[in-house]
Amino acid sequence: MGYGHVIIGITGASGAPYALRTIRLLAECGVQVHVAATTMGRRLLVEECGIKSLDAPTLVGDDGLAELVHIHRDSDMGACIASGSFQHDGMAIVPCSSNTLGHLAGGLTNSLVHRAAAVTLKERRRLVVGHRETPLSKIDIGNMATLSDAGAIITPLTPGFYLQPESIQDLVDFMAARIVDLLGVVHDLPVRWKGTLTHLGQHEC
């Protein structure tokens, strides 16, 4: 049995490959994925992934997953995901810019990504914020604290190295898997630390 619906917001921070992998992984798990991207989110899809057209086959390919991916225009404040009446299982903003972080912390919603996230919070649904910027200003840190207090999960896009990644794709997979974990969707990407420290005589889980 598949999961229900998840929303992915893409904004103009570096990390568009994380967005693509997260969307694909969710679709592979049978999730209906609703996608909205800010203007700068679309720009970063072009700059980092060469994606010029925001449509389902371009995002996940033509191998049957595209029918699970629903694209919404960021200017369409009348899209279903703008309403609290839309039943979904969570939203992730990946990558999340400091600009969008500030909008959300201030309760400002002048784009569909912002509105869908604000609604997710007010409806007490899961909101995962994959922020990316470095270094962080005190304003960013304060905005994260505000959003965390409001119920969001702040997950900086910082992949771990303990699985000894061999490629950029391994790092992207690590972070996408973490986001999908936080959305409560079960997947089978092999990204789990098993406690293997055989040289110290310890055991795998």
Minimal distance, residue 164 CB to ligand FMN, in Å:
26
Q: Minimum Å distance from CB 33 to ligand FMN? A: 19
Q: Which is nearer to ligand FMN, 168 or 197 (CB)?
A: 168
Query: Binding to ligand FMN by residue 76, rule CB under 6 A?
Result: no
Of the candidates 40, 66, 80, 189, which one interacts with ligand FMN according to CB under 6 A?
40
Q: Which of 28, 76, 89, 133 binds ligand FMN (CB under 6 A)?
A: 133
Taking the C-alpha atoms of residue 32 and residue 29, their distance in angstroms, rounded to an integer, is 9
By CB under 6 A, residue 97 contacts ligand FMN: yes
How far apart CA 202 and CA 34 sit, in angstroms, is 43
184 C-beta neighbours (distance < 10 Å), count:
12
Beta bridge partners, 33, equal: 6, 69
User: 13, 131 in Cβ contact below 8 A?
Assistant: yes
By CB under 6 A, which span of 37-45, 56-64, 118-126, 166-174 interacts with ligand FMN? 37-45
Q: CA 92 to CA 102: how far, in whole Å?
A: 16
Cβ proximity of 82 and 115 under 8 Å:
yes
| Residue 47 binding ligand FMN, by CB under 6 A | yes
- Alpha carbon distance 19, 97 (integer Å): 13
Could you tell me which stretch among 11-19, 62-70, 158-166, 194-202 binds ligand FMN (CB under 6 A)?
A: 11-19
11 lines the binding site for ligand FMN (CB under 6 A): yes
Gap between the Cα atoms of 156 and 115, Å rounded: 21
Of 22, 32, 58, 100, which lies in the binding site for ligand FMN, with binding defined by CB under 6 A? 100
Which residue ranges make up the site for ligand FMN (CB under 6 A)? 11-14, 38, 40-41, 47, 97-100, 132-133
